[in-house]
């Protein structure tokens, strides 16, 4: 899978050379290309921002370098029919979820436009929409200083879904958000630590009982921490004993 990132801080993305995503890049499973927005400026000061029309605090990213940078990314398409989705990280975007990560990971190419300051001149998105799918995406209801940290999170979430990136694909099945619930608590050795014993059922060897316990724990944890997930879940997901509880 290919990712392109346009940013004024290419070094911000350096951690994507580490760990599983770094290994996937080395193996050729992930092709990550980072572009410096300032390389697409034409003035001596490599200016990328200016004051907002209509007034107000802060600066807005000028459209010209963005237009050039996006044209450059699109021109590097290896096949005439292939085009990326352009993800624009923004607190004003649609929420980034596991579902969206899966949908995007099924495409072969995602490009990211990292805004800083108050954001990117809206005409850049309108212009790109003439040619490709453009999606403003938010990591959550809080404000970061720019899109780079959000892009790292999104590339990690999508990259680990690319076949071959995670050694044991079964570990993708039982994790939080896969069944619409949070994951159950996990334990390892030693059996007792600081006076706290691992729950007996996990040592019982009774696989049905273990599965039941894990489901119950996942459900009560989800009800407590994320009731919104339960309210939104189809009722077929719960059985009679869940509903009685």
Binding site for ligand ADE (CB under 6 A): 89-91, 138-140, 142-144, 147, 150
3-state secondary structure (DSSP) of residue 213: helix
144 among annotated binding-site residues: yes
* In contact, 147 and 90? CB cutoff 8 Å: yes
Taking the least distance from each CB to ligand ADE, the nearer of 4 and 217 is 4
Quick one: tokens of 205?
């060897």
Taking the least distance from each CB to ligand ADE, the nearer of 147 and 159 is 147
Ramachandran quadrant class, 233 (left: phi over 0; alpha: psi -120 to 50; beta: rest): beta
Helices (H), 76-132: 98-105, 122-129
Taking the least distance from each CB to ligand ADE, the nearer of 30 and 150 is 150
12 among annotated binding-site residues: no
The residue nearest ligand ADE at its CB is 89
Q: How far apart are CB 213 and ligand ADE at their closest, in Å? A: 36
Q: How far apart are CB 234 and ligand ADE at their closest, in Å? A: 28
Element (H, E) at 33: strand 31-36
Q: Please say whether the dihedral angle defined by the alpha carbons of residues 129, 131, 133 and 137, taken in this order, is positive or negative.
A: negative
Taking the least distance from each CB to ligand ADE, the nearer of 65 and 89 is 89
143 among annotated binding-site residues: yes
Q: How far apart are the first and last CA of the chain?
A: 44
Taking the least distance from each CB to ligand ADE, the nearer of 65 and 147 is 147
43 among annotated binding-site residues: no
The helix-helix angle for 63-75 and 122-129 (nearest 10°) equals 30
Do strands 85-95 and 2-7 pair parallel, antiparallel, or not at all (unpaired)?
unpaired
- Backbone phi, psi, residue 70, to 5°: -70, -40
121 among annotated binding-site residues: no
Q: How far apart are CB 6 and ligand ADE at their closest, in Å? A: 14
141 among annotated binding-site residues: yes
Q: How far apart are CB 137 and ligand ADE at their closest, in Å? A: 6
Q: How many CB atoms lie within 10 A of CB 13?
A: 20
Q: How far apart are CB 91 and ligand ADE at their closest, in Å? A: 4
187 among annotated binding-site residues: no
- Backbone phi, psi, residue 62, to 5°: -70, 150
Taking the least distance from each CB to ligand ADE, the nearer of 90 and 222 is 90
Binding site members for S-adenosyl-L-methionine: 115, 139-144
């Amino acid at each position: 899978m290919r990712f392109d990132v346009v940013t004024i801080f290419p070094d911000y993305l350096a951690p994507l050379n580490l760990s599983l995503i770094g290994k996937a890049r080395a193996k050729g499973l992930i092709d990550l290309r980072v572009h410096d927005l300032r390389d697409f400026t034409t003035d001596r000061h490599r200016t990328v921002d200016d004051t907002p029309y209509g007034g107000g605090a802060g600066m807005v990213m000028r459209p010209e370098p963005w237009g050039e940078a996006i044209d450059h990314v699109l021109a590097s398409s290896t096949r005439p029919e292939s085009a990326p989705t352009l993800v624009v990280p923004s607190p004003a975007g649609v929420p980034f979820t596991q579902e969206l990560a899966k949908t995007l990971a099924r495409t072969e190419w995602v490009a990211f436009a990292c805004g800083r300051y108050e954001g990117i001149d809206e005409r850049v998105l309108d212009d790109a929409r003439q040619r490709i799918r453009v999606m403003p995406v938010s990591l959550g209801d809080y404000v970061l200083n720019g899109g780079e940290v959000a892009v790292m999170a999104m590339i990690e979430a999508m990259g680990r879904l690319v076949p071959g990136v995670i050694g044991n694909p079964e570990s993708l099945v039982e994790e939080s958000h896969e069944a619409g619930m949070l994951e159950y608590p996990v334990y390892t050795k030693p059996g007792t630590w600081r006076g706290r014993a691992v729950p007996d059922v996990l040592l019982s060897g009774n696989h049905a009982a273990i599965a039941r316990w894990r489901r119950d724990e996942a459900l009560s944890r989800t009800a407590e921490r994320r009731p919104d997930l339960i309210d939104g879940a189809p009722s077929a997901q719960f059985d009679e004993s869940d509903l009685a509880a």
